[in-house]
Structure 1
Amino acid sequence: MSNRIRVAAVADIPPGTAKEVLAGERILAVYHVDGEFYALDGICPHAGGPLGEGTLQGNIVTCPWHGWQFDVTSGQHCLNDHLKHPCFPVTVDGGEVFVELG
């Protein structure tokens, strides 16, 4: 059973930006890229850096602590094909952004 949680208003995450949010007991990073919203686990697997505070260029986020990069649309690490960061389905309803936690 999935758990759909409101994490922000659309207006809270302008295009080309990210927002760190709390969904239940999870820290997530929500990104607004080309009119779509994406959510990744907000904690970088390298050293625990805050991915929601990273630099977003197109669909690539760079962790502010040590520069690890992920494709926010898939969670795929940009240099290591074997490393995929957890991502979560996002829906928008009535100007509100929701994330589904499994």
Structure 2
Amino acid sequence: MKNHFKGKQYDYRIIIEAVGLYYHFSLSYRDCAKIMRQFSIPVHHTTIYRWCQQYGKVLYHLWKKRNKRRSLSKSWRIDETYVKVKGKDRYLYRAIDSNGN
């Protein structure tokens, strides 16, 4: 995987983290840059934009190859309960198939 990032100023782990923030959490490029700055990594938002354009598809295909979709069963169990969060009741849902996924 490192050969995709050869010759870049930043370490490949920083690039993967920035691109992952953008795609996983649907943040803006400026928000991603702000989060990176909080971890003392000064990256401009246009740099993150270029990384997403250049490495988005590559990282998606690597992820897809590594996480092949497991077949889900037709039987599901759903559980719901209340949980107190900061003094307020909130719903907590979870769904599990018969394989535990």
Instruction: Give the alignment's TM-score, normalised by structure 1.
Output: 0.23
More helix by share: 2
Q: Which of 1 and 2 has higher RCO (CA within 8 Å, sep 6+)?
A: 1
After TM superposition, the score normalised by the length of structure 2 is: 0.24
- Rg bigger for which structure? 2
